[in-house]
Structure 1
Amino acid sequence: MSLMAMAPEVFAPDGVLARADGHFQPRDGQTQMAVAVAQTIAEGGALVVEAGTGVGKTYAYLVPALLSGERVLLSTATKALQDQLFARDLPRLAQILGLPVRMALLKGRASYLCLYRVEQARQDAQALDLGVARVLAKVEDWSHHTVSGDLAELTGLDERSPVIPLVTSTRENCLGSPCPRFRECHVHRARREALAADIVVINHHLFFADVAVRESGMAELLPTVRVVVFDEAHQINETGVQFLGTQVSTGQWMDFARDLLIAGLQHARGLADWTGLAQLVELSARDLRLAVGATALMGGSGVSGGSRLRWTDETPEGVSGAAWQAALRSLASACTQTLEALDAVSEIAPDLERLYERGSALLARLARFSGPCQADGVRWLDVGTQLRLIESPLDIADAMRTRILASPAETSQGDAWPEDTSASAGRAWIFTSATLGDDEALTWFTERTGLQDARTLRVASPFDYARQAALYVPRQLPSPVDPSHSRAVADWVASTAEPLEGRTLVLTTTLKALRSIGDALKARWQGSGTLEVLVQGEWPKRRLMERFREGASHGRPGCVLVASASFWEGFDVPGDALQLVVIDKLPFPPPGDPLVEARTQRIERAGGKAFKSYALPEAAVALKQGAGRLIRHETDRGILVVGDTRLVTMGYGKRLLAALPPMRRLESPEEFEAALLALTRPSTTDPTCP
């Protein structure tokens, strides 16, 4: 029986899934997607599938992938979905199908404990801090009995903890095979297991990092496969451009100086002035950061993580040319002196040899930014607690066509993706997400990723949005360009969230709005115990999500969560814990962002209209992602509120409305109040949202 015939039988009303799970319900969309995936695996080529929330896309691609008997690479956007696939979905489905499958989970280096660096961590100055020392002791104790070395096992470890860089390695500081703990290395063990597995679960960051590393001559990281599946594929363009360009940061120089001091004093004390050299590198890195003064920051665009400064000429915009060039020369000189000292002692220890290679690579990257930017690329400064110098392609289309999707014979490297000689068909690529565009051809996704020739499929959500959800635009709110807009949104949320006992998620488009709305809501309920206001950045993301899902339980008040950035997607709260999603403004790309500007200019130079072909599709996809937080299950009920009157007053609002799920429209405050009242009535059987 062919793969295309086997796949739909699994999803049939009397199929193995129905027999194994009494709650399983056949969905036409899920079966349709599974057949399309099966056909692509059998014949080769590329398939792009937008599968709405509730379709069951995970099983729709896993079933044909497992039945095919092929070696499969599954890539996700988040570690959370990685863990879910590996620990829950894959083992359960393999058991139901009765297939013996070897599975492996592979993450980036920063996810694994480095045994050698744990041993060195106590020598770092940060370890003198009592809080750091306490967490480090917990990590050290765990290191003696962990098998995988995956830091996800350490419950309660804050992802922002300063201990993590002390006990993990990077590509720059890893010693490789000369490391005294190489045989026990958790990263090395994970790679070995991946090379021997049938199904390997990775993430997009790791995939594109491997593409970049392979081209620099490093050993290939990922196993040879014929079937590649990208889940949460809407993120691969922005992830890819991070790795297919060039970056160097003052943080990397500071880490280099710190490791230089530790290794120099440990292995070659007295053979060079390691303290002086480390201080010289550190001070030069700080001077480069200080060369970007407050005046330059005023011209930057506020984005997640800090400000971005345009860099179209020799010097970044708003930065003194003389100060910038002097700081670059000073840092290059400090690195050159350090390399001379390391060259004389590099054979003494692997640490010193690796530091020499690492310093050489940093110096080469710094030199790259002394010349002109590559054609069809963009360069900028990312200014935060550290300074990042970034040069990036505008999208990954060319790289996908020439370096990833192309067969080995067509690539310049020849071994980028070695052919599986046992496979009669070409490689199969499946890209899927709940949001890939706002038109039938999914051009928002396919054009940026070089997949215009791919087969596309759109599978609608099975949810009854007209009954389960409603959309409301409060017309009394001021214009989104009015300085009082964020405060007005906060006041409106405050008057609405109390009847719901919280259960409200506020998604903001900027960090400035996040702080303004968060502060206003905190002030509203401070000390009253009525509602608890959670604000992104104040707690680790995992803790925020757990507290919000708890809601008004165990004697605690209900919650309002104010969030931005990563909470627009991948935040899943089924049930009554979330019933009101408020989006403060239409999520157009920030006009002052250098990458956005460069993409806009490219379109206009080609004679296109940037707003229509870039800004509007970007906003439509982001709006669709934010709206997707509301209804996650067949019995969920809720209201989506967009605090931007342009959605209903501007002509382009029709396109944005068409991108949203088919929710019922609430046209007046009275209709909204009635719908809100209906949500306060407990109901487990009727999902109607009046």
Structure 2
Amino acid sequence: MSLLEQRVAETLSSHGSLAQAVPGFQPRAGQTDMAMAVTQTLEQGGQLVVEAGTGVGKTYAYLVPVLLSGQRALVSTATKALQDQLFSRDIPRLVEVLGLPIRVALLKGRSNYLCLHRMDQARHSAEAAQPGAQRALAKIETWSQATRTGDMAELTGLDERSSLWPLVTSTRDNCLGSSCPRYRACHVNLARKEAMASDVVVINHHLFFADMAVRESGVAELLPTVRVTVFDEAHQLNEIGVNFLGQQLSTVQLLELSRDVLATGLQLARGLVDWHALTDRLEKSSRDLRLAAGMHRGSVRLRWTDALPEGVESTEWTPALHNLVQALEQMQSGLETVVELAPDFQRLFERARELGQKADLFSQAPDPEGVRWAEVSAQLRLVESPLDIAQAFSALTKPVQAPLVLQDEDASDPESIQALMAGDPRHGADPQNPQASGLGQRAWIFTSATLGDEPSLRWFTEPCGLTSAQVMQVTSPFDYAKQAALYVPEHLPKPGDPGHAGHVAQLVVEAVELLGGRTLVLTTTLNAMRSIGEYLQTRLDPAANVEILVQGQSPKRRLMERFREGAGDGRAGCVLVASASFWEGFDVPGEALQLVVIDKLPFPPPGDPLFEARSQRVTREGRSAFADHALPEAAVALKQGAGRLIRSETDSGVLVVCDTRLATMSYGRRLIRGLPQMRRLSGHAEFLSTLRQFTTDATS
């Protein structure tokens, strides 16, 4: 056993520093096993993929070895919530307990930081004239004088959905880089400089892939050279990566360009160009293209395998797209005449050119090696992407003898990555001086509670190009057979029945009246979420004194906070009806949550273009699109949803899956095997009896 392995094992033992300093810490065999595997990967290099069940303590299992190793590291998460938790709580606690002289930095995408230049301009914008806007801007300006980081998460009372948010933050599109008059004081650059001087940098997957995908001139700061990269919540890597490695054009981008051109033109070059004419044409062509995509309820993805999206009239779409290309060309011509006047015009010209290139791309036939679709909601988004990240990611993570310098989020491209991996000293790796450049095989750690439904974890490793990775599964320490039960109500109609959502809502009402809340309802569609939420809000007996929360009716953070509060102090317990993002990352330990109801098995929507393209590829490879693609996708999603129920050793609860296919179809056994080993409830009477027992236990 190496010295590092000894130190890690000692730290996680019953007599180690964590047991002595952290209240409630208990050694867990699974945590130690995972930590040993991480340690060996740190020492030898290579790729390690770990599925660590709920309660294993995977965060400490990778942080302890990484911190004790003394190696420079990136830790990447899928959500800003976990990113903030790692930076503000987990890492500082370990650094203190272990007594390590380690500098830690937090780095988010640029749109999370206050842009001082855009804040200066915001009062002159049309949005600033809206009721309450001036007061909100004044609050932002006051905060700007006190904040050290400029992280917008510090600013209470301003939601990311606010129309003011994009006015006071920057994006890759509108950042002026080193030409900005506030460049020296830029919070993004200061955060990157701090990251350069740190030993551990906490980032997120979006930032990691943005770093791979784009280059932007005028930004000199880089993320530090690291030998260790850890991806927590790694199950989201492929989907996040696909979005960044493809091409996108949206009406939001186009309208934001129009707004910025008009504001800047009138402020800095009034009368030199007919700014109203240019921006009016761009806005009209953008809206015409959205209208050409048709009217749809909610958000839909339209297949796009030929010249235009499926179901779209060519007589409307083709001229609308042509007019958009021309509007962007005219915008470039107008901006080109004033680019010398101010850096703002140079950046606006570059934005118009980039969007024009994308509009031209979508005027041509789709790339046969990828997939293209049009996403239609209130806005329109055109997307062309690879089917997965395997090719790009396998090239990035293959064994090499040079460390990778990850570029600034907006200043990296595949050529620079390849040069770096070849040991190009311009990128920080000096093959002539291994000691100085820290040469050695890189270590890549990937972990999540859910990475597949089979021991090989192929669902995760294949699309990520990690076919040579070491794979391990660490089971949860929770006693699911004792703590949790699974109920499949076979009396309900089939999932395709129009009345299915209503029957699910009736079952929830019956259960909630016994439990007094403490229920999370997860739906596979927004329509079902709205239907069930409305039913509960109008039909549940007021005497039950239960508060019904529905996703979308309040900010997500407030919904989570209220649900976790539960009953007490005169407050009712809660029912939360939600979809999408609440299937994962929502952690409610204790009696505030004892019933999770899932309306249907979460199979991917059959009409989704990306799912269909991946299914077709699986079929071409001689495999089953259902068994080898659709079923594993559903198994992982079901496992994520079920994972909301038991979050600690003292939790208890029931998982209800309102889909008879889980009990009647042969593939139901595979889906159940992928779930924690809960005891099965045999019928509705036993289900209600179990809920009554929870109520009795809670009041005793």
Q: Which TM bucket (shorter chain)? A: over 0.9
1:556 positional shift: 2.4
Query: Which residue number corresponds to residue 249 of structure 1?
Result: 250
Instruction: Give the whole-Å Cα distance in 2 for the aligned partners of 1:412 and 1:269.
Output: 41
Query: Which residue number corresponds to residue 201 of structure 2?
Result: 200
8 A Cα contact 2:304 2:366, kept in partner: no
1:412 positional shift: 4.8
Instruction: Give the whole-Å Cα distance in 2 for the aligned partners of 1:667 and 1:385.
Output: 45
Instruction: Give the whole-Å Cα distance in 1 for the aligned partners of 2:175 and 2:41.
Output: 39
1:376 positional shift: 2.3
8 A Cα contact 1:408 1:415, kept in partner: no
Query: Which residue number corresponds to residue 129 of structure 1?
Result: 130
8 A Cα contact 1:132 1:162, kept in partner: no
Instruction: Give the whole-Å Cα distance in 1 for the aligned partners of 2:401 and 2:123.
Output: 46
Instruction: Give the whole-Å Cα distance in 2 for the aligned partners of 1:627 and 1:588.
Output: 15
Instruction: Give the whole-Å Cα distance in 1 for the aligned partners of 2:37 and 2:480.
Output: 26
**Range that drifts further, 240-249 or 160-169:** 160-169
User: In the alignment, is residue 544 of structure 1 matched against residue 559 of structure 2?
Assistant: yes
1:217 positional shift: 10
User: In the alignment, is residue 118 of structure 1 matched against residue 111 of structure 2?
Assistant: no
User: In the alignment, is residue 507 of structure 1 matched against residue 508 of structure 2?
Assistant: no
The 5-angstrom pairing of residues 252-401 of structure 1 reads 252-294=253-295, 297=296, 306-401=299-394
Instruction: Give the whole-Å Cα distance in 2 for the aligned partners of 1:465 and 1:55.
Output: 14
The 5-angstrom pairing of residues 242-641 of structure 1 reads 242-294=243-295, 297=296, 306-405=299-398, 407=400, 412-413=415-416, 414-416=418-420, 421-422=434-435, 423=438, 425-525=440-540, 530-641=545-656
State the TM-score, normalizing by the size of structure 1. 0.95
- Spell out, residue by residue over 1:526-563, the C-alpha distance to the aligned partner (whole angstroms, 9 max, x if none): 86672111111111110000111112233222211000
Change in 2 beyond 3 A, CA 1:322/1:144: same
8 A Cα contact 1:347 1:353, kept in partner: yes
8 A Cα contact 2:514 2:695, kept in partner: yes
Change in 2 beyond 3 A, CA 1:537/1:282: same
8 A Cα contact 1:504 1:579, kept in partner: yes
User: In the alignment, is residue 663 of structure 1 matched against residue 681 of structure 2?
Assistant: no
- Spell out, residue by residue over 1:214-250, the C-alpha distance to the aligned partner (whole angstroms, 9 max, x if none): 4999757432210000000000000000000000101
8 A Cα contact 1:210 1:220, kept in partner: no
8 A Cα contact 2:401 2:442, kept in partner: no
8 A Cα contact 2:516 2:544, kept in partner: no
1:404 positional shift: 4.7
1:267 positional shift: 1.0
Query: Which residue number corresponds to residue 50 of structure 2?
Result: 49
Query: Which residue number corresponds to residue 176 of structure 2?
Result: 175
Q: Supply the AA of the counterpart residue of 1:465.
A: Y
Change in 2 beyond 3 A, CA 1:630/1:356: same
Runs ≥4 residues deviating over 6 A: 215-218, 408-411
1:406 positional shift: 5.8
State the TM-score, normalizing by the size of structure 2. 0.94
Change in 2 beyond 3 A, CA 1:154/1:529: farther
1:132 positional shift: 3.3
Change in 2 beyond 3 A, CA 1:594/1:216: farther
8 A Cα contact 1:71 1:227, kept in partner: yes
Instruction: Give the whole-Å Cα distance in 2 for the aligned partners of 1:463 and 1:189.
Output: 43
Instruction: Give the whole-Å Cα distance in 2 for the aligned partners of 1:336 and 1:249.
Output: 17
- Spell out, residue by residue over 1:350-381, the C-alpha distance to the aligned partner (whole angstroms, 9 max, x if none): 11111011111110111111222223210000
Query: Which residue number corresponds to residue 407 of structure 2?
Result: none
**Range that drifts further, 526-535 or 167-176:** 526-535
1:285 positional shift: 0.8
**Range that drifts further, 17-26 or 204-213:** 17-26
User: In the alignment, is residue 184 of structure 1 matched against residue 185 of structure 2?
Assistant: yes
Change in 2 beyond 3 A, CA 1:121/1:22: closer
**Range that drifts further, 219-228 or 342-351:** 219-228
Instruction: Give the whole-Å Cα distance in 2 for the aligned partners of 1:135 and 1:542.
Output: 20
Query: Which residue number corresponds to residue 230 of structure 1?
Result: 231
Instruction: Give the whole-Å Cα distance in 1 for the aligned partners of 2:262 and 2:399.
Output: 45
- How many equivalent pairs are there? 677
**Range that drifts further, 452-461 or 21-30:** 21-30
8 A Cα contact 2:248 2:381, kept in partner: yes
Q: CA RMSD in A?
A: 1.9
Structure 2 gaps of 5+ residues are 405-413, 422-426
- Spell out, residue by residue over 1:283-321, the C-alpha distance to the aligned partner (whole angstroms, 9 max, x if none): 111111111123xx48xxx6xxx1111111011111111
Query: Which residue number corresponds to residue 160 of structure 1?
Result: 161
User: In the alignment, is residue 675 of structure 1 matched against residue 690 of structure 2?
Assistant: yes
8 A Cα contact 2:249 2:382, kept in partner: yes
Instruction: Give the whole-Å Cα distance in 2 for the aligned partners of 1:448 and 1:218.
Output: 32
Instruction: Give the whole-Å Cα distance in 1 for the aligned partners of 2:542 and 2:339.
Output: 60
Instruction: Give the whole-Å Cα distance in 2 for the aligned partners of 1:216 and 1:681.
Output: 65
